[in-house]
Amino acid sequence: MLKVNGVYKSYGTQAVLNDAHLEIRPEVKVLIGINGCGKSTLLKIIAGIIKPDKGSVLLKEKNITGLAPEERRVGYVPQHPALFGHKKVIDNIMYGMRNGLGSEELLEDIIGMLGLGDILDKKPGELSGGYKSRVSLARALAPGPEMILLDEPLSDIDAAVKEKLLPEFRRVSKLLNVPVLYVTHDPAEAERIGDSFSVMQDGQVKSIDSAYQAFEIIKKDKLISA
């Protein structure tokens, strides 16, 4: 289980996270909120990219707040796929396995489930946006992480391709049976991929029953127009 306890984060005088708490068991939890509300900041704190001003992050009851990103066993997929343009697809995927993490069996499963077998020798510049997103997910999963963070991973994809990729992302994300935190601001996307849902509001994370409930909360607070 992942636990975020009392996390605070400010940039200058702007408070972004204000006593944020979150618990995720082995499931796909979707975090919903408007742009700039702190969703990506929370993911980067969990990943170790940003340090919180206060609070802690625990993974499997171990306090990982002070650990470097590479020591956390967290698979992180950013909003825009950050692939190595000079490396082949297979080398991009295996990059996270360079310290002996993951296994050949897991690698083969991921490649097969994401339909990447025919493009392993291509380079990112030869791929469509959908395939870049698949490769980015495969690279995050290949080391066998104990937590997966997906920060709007399909935001660059058109609706038709996204409709096809969502079931694949859900199926592969659940392959490892670990906590998965999926960030989006699209209610339909959230409902299709999530097991449970939370909304980011006033720098805090609040559990809700459905993705659409999150958007009703946001509308009532006049954070976005109805």
Band (pLDDT 50/70/90 cuts) for residue 201 is confident
Average pLDDT over residues 185-205: 89
Average pLDDT over residues 209-223: 73
Q: What pTM was estimated for this model as a whole? A: 0.89
pLDDT score at 224: 46
Rounded CA-CA distance 169/28 in Å is 10
Whose tokens are 């939370």? That residue is: 198
What's the token pair of residue 172? 């592969």
Band (pLDDT 50/70/90 cuts) for residue 226 is very low
Is 198:181 a contact under the CB 8 Å cutoff? Answer: no
Task: Reply yes or no on whether the pLDDT at 206 is more than 50.
Answer: yes
CA distances from 202 to 2, 17, 95 (A): 22, 8, 37
Domain boundaries, the chain: 2-84+147-220
Average pLDDT over residues 129-156: 90
Query: Comparing C-alpha atoms, which of 81, 90, 78, 167 is closest to residue 123?
Result: 90
Average pLDDT over residues 21-36: 91
Residue 36 vs residue 135, higher pLDDT: 135
Band (pLDDT 50/70/90 cuts) for residue 221 is low
Task: Reply yes or no on whether the pLDDT at 33 is more than 90.
Answer: no
Work out the burial of residue 83: count CB atoms within 10 Å of its CB; fewer than 13 is exposed, 13-18 middle, 19 or more buried: buried
Topology, domain 2-84+147-220: Rossmann fold (3.40.50)
User: For residue range 91-140, what is the model confidence (pLDDT) as tens digits?
Assistant: 999 998 887 788 999 999 999 988 999 999 999 999 998 899 999 999 99
Task: Reply yes or no on whether the pLDDT at 175 is more than 50.
Answer: yes
Rg (CA), the chain: 17
Question: With pLDDT > 70 as the criterion, what percentage of the chain qualifies?
Answer: 96
